[in-house]
Amino acid sequence: MRVLGVDPGLTRCGVGVVEGVAGRPLRMLGVGVIRTPAEADTAERLLLVEQGLERWLTEYRPEYVAVERVFSQHNVRTVMGTAQASAVAMLCAARRGLPVALHTPSEVKAAVTGSGRADKAQVGSMVTRLLRLDAPPKPADAADALALAICHIWRAPATNRLQQAVAAHRRTTAEAPLMKGTR
């Protein structure tokens, strides 16, 4: 499976594409950062993030998009920008019919390093080793995006089983009441 990981942000939006399956060596196809000028309007910055993500989606054709789940325990201003950039990432994926998975920072750290409280350096170091890179990707947002993609590949078997179970349950439930009158 090929996964685009997105570490959302308006100033720096990390992006990384990883291909592989759980239990086998993984391969990095691309990594980078989409930047937008702090002085620009939020609307303009969101447009630049969208244009950047569209280029990545078109070039790498991922089958899944993994986005960091945003919490609001941090700085209010930063969280707003992060939430808005993550919305653009989800929207770009949904428009192409790609499944979107959200993973929390702790889930990503735990998946990649074994500890949900690992620091940036540990995450960068494990990403470098797992993808057999020469050096940790810089900036940290780029490494985090790769870690998100790796996390998604490794968690996917469990998640897919869960989704299959939910889908099977829905099929056995008459009239699909979840969606009744909502569209």
Binding residues vs its own copies (CB under 8 A): 35-37, 39-44, 46-48, 50, 70-72, 76, 79-80, 83-88, 90-91, 93-95, 100, 102, 178-179, 182-183
Token digits for 50?
A: 């969208």
From the CB of 175, what's the least distance to its own copies, in Å? 14
Token digits for 144?
A: 């985090």
User: In terms of Cα–Cα distance, which of 71, 74, 67, 124 is closest to 93?
Assistant: 67
Find the length of the chain: 183
User: In terms of Cα–Cα distance, which of 42, 43, 92 is closest to 67?
Assistant: 92
144 appears as a binding residue in the annotation: no
From the CB of 169, what's the least distance to its own copies, in Å? 13
Distance, in Å, from the CA atom of 29 to the CA atom of 134, rounded to the nearest integer, reads 14
141 appears as a binding residue in the annotation: yes
**Is there a catalytic annotation at residue 119?**
no
**Is there a catalytic annotation at residue 44?**
no
Nearer CB in complex with its own copies: 29/80: 80
From the CB of 172, what's the least distance to its own copies, in Å? 17
| 50, 141, 144, 175: the active-site residue | 141
**Is there a catalytic annotation at residue 175?**
no
Distance, in Å, from the CA atom of 176 to the CA atom of 170, rounded to the nearest integer, reads 7
7 appears as a binding residue in the annotation: yes
| 7, 19, 50, 59: the active-site residue | 7
Q: How far is CA 122 from CA 29, 62, 117, 126, 153, in A?
A: 21, 26, 10, 6, 19
| 39, 68, 107, 175: the active-site residue | 68
Annotated binding site for Mg(2+): 7, 68, 141
Residues noted as catalytic: 7, 68, 141
